[in-house]
Amino acid sequence: MGGGAAPLTRTRTVNSSGMWLFYAVKAYEYGGTSLVAQQNSFADRRREGMEVANATAHCCAECGIAGGDSLKTCGSCLLVKYCNPTCQRSHWSTHKIECKRRTAKLRDRALFKDPPAKEDCPICFLPMPVKLLSCISLPPATISSVPINEYAIAHAELANIVDMEHYYECCGKSICRGCAVSFATTGLLEQCPYCNADRKGKTDEEKVREMMKRVEANDASSVCELGGYYNHGLGGLQQDCVKAMELYARAAKLGSSKAHCFLADIYHSGGDFKKTLFHFEAAAMAGNEGARCNLGVMEANAGNKE
């Protein structure tokens, strides 16, 4: 028909419910290709592109050799894969800009998303309380913008409480400080408020042995608590900072945000601010309020007020 427009055509199709639908398609021919044909061609090209992308996803980004499940994904950006460390090192000069950009995006997404729900106290079933963070040490320009500052100064004894939870070695459970104080007023200090285990006359060594049973079961809270015992030489244990860091690292891998905070404090004392930032961020992503507060202080000290 030459280059003119094709006549109005009517096409009949069936939708998912089985009803017949009629619609008109006014097809124009350009070089013998109708609009419908162009759409089909685009769909074919898109399908081919997806097939190429899927095939590329299973190939080494450096040498292009298909490796399937044996390929190792870049641990930072999670975008590309390599068949061996040699290919990864060779491809780094090409990949590093996109890798750093993608890694920063993933970090911000994880850091600023809603944190997981806070663990409840197993006695009162209320969320574990947050330590009243002292704002006295914040930079002068920041103090005026922190509403809790005046309350923290007036209640310094609360602001400086080391922990708002109390750990029991017999069952590996932690209860809120409020329940611990309430339980103490009843005079039943010789019983565990959670499992009712008899705690009368138990020595520090016996408590450590009970804790070790929970540690062997890979209980994150108990592993972290044992790390504290080694770090400060408690419970009859000889102080061993190296052992403490090993236990903190193990507890962090098991999901303890408190262990990440303890590691951050240790690295900060040693001047390793890169690892300090890493562990504070990991704890903040897990919902630890103290770690998020410390990150804010670090950013304020660095001049990043926004």
Domains parsed from the chain with CATH numbers: 1-57 (no CATH), 59-113 (no CATH), 140-301 (1.25.40.10)
Q: Is residue 202 within 8 Å of residue 192, measured between CB atoms?
A: no
Model pLDDT, residue 280: 93
How many residues are listed for the chain in this entry?
306
Q: Check whether 263 has a pLDDT greater than 60.
A: yes
Q: What is the pLDDT of residue 116?
A: 80
Residue 289 belongs to what H/E stretch? helix 289-301
Name the pLDDT band for 157 (thresholds 50, 70, 90). Answer: low
Report, as an integer, the average pLDDT of 226-230. 95
Structure confidence at residue 6 (pLDDT): 44
- Count CB-CB contacts under 10 A for residue 25: 13
Residues paired with 13 in a beta bridge:
21
Count CB neighbours of 63 within 10 A.
14
pLDDT(220) > 90: yes
Return the closest-CA partner of residue 208 out of 191, 190, 230.
230
Which of 70-84, 120-134, 182-196, 268-282 is least confident?
Answer: 120-134
Average pLDDT over residues 210-222: 93
Q: Dihedral sign, CA of 25, 29, 30, 31? A: positive
- pLDDT for 306 beyond 60: yes
State the Cα–Cα distance between residues 37 and 81, nearest whole angstrom: 37
Buried-state track 247-281, b at ≥16 Cβ within 10 A, e below 16: bbbbbbeeebbbbbbbbbbbbbeeeeeeebbebbb
Question: What is the DSSP code (8-state) at residue 70?
Answer: G
Distances (CA, A) of 296 to 128, 299, 302: 22, 5, 10
At 216 the pLDDT is 94
β 72-73/165-168 pair status: unpaired
E strand or H helix at 10: strand 9-14
Question: Under a CB-based contact definition with an 8 Å cutoff, are residues 175 and 123 in contact?
Answer: yes
Report residue 293's pLDDT band, with 50, 70 and 90 as the boundaries.
confident
Q: How far apart, in whole angstroms, are the C-alpha atoms of residue 100 and residue 112?
A: 18
Whether 264 and 280 have beta carbons less than 8 Å apart is answered as yes
Q: Which residues share a beta bridge with 165?
A: 176
Which of the four pLDDT bands, split at 50, 70 and 90, describes residue 202? confident
Backbone angles phi, psi at 216, to 5 degrees: -65, -25
Beta carbons of 164 and 177 less than 8 angstroms apart: yes
Nearest-10 crossing angle of helices 289-301, 273-285? 140
- pLDDT tens, position by position, 86-122: 999 999 999 999 999 988 888 888 888 887 877 888 9
Q: What is the mean pLDDT of the chain?
A: 76
Question: Does residue 12 carry a pLDDT above 70?
Answer: no
Q: Provide the 8-state DSSP code for 66.
A: B
The pLDDT of residue 2: 47
Taking alpha carbons only, the member of 256, 246, 247 closest to residue 220 is: 256
Residue among 172, 186, 256, 183 nearest 215 (CA) = 172
Taking the C-alpha atoms of residue 114 and residue 6, their distance in angstroms, rounded to an integer, is 56
304 pLDDT above the threshold of 60? yes
Q: Is residue 290 over pLDDT 70?
A: yes
Structure tokens at 130: 């947050």
Reported as a pLDDT band with limits 50, 70 and 90, residue 245 is: very high
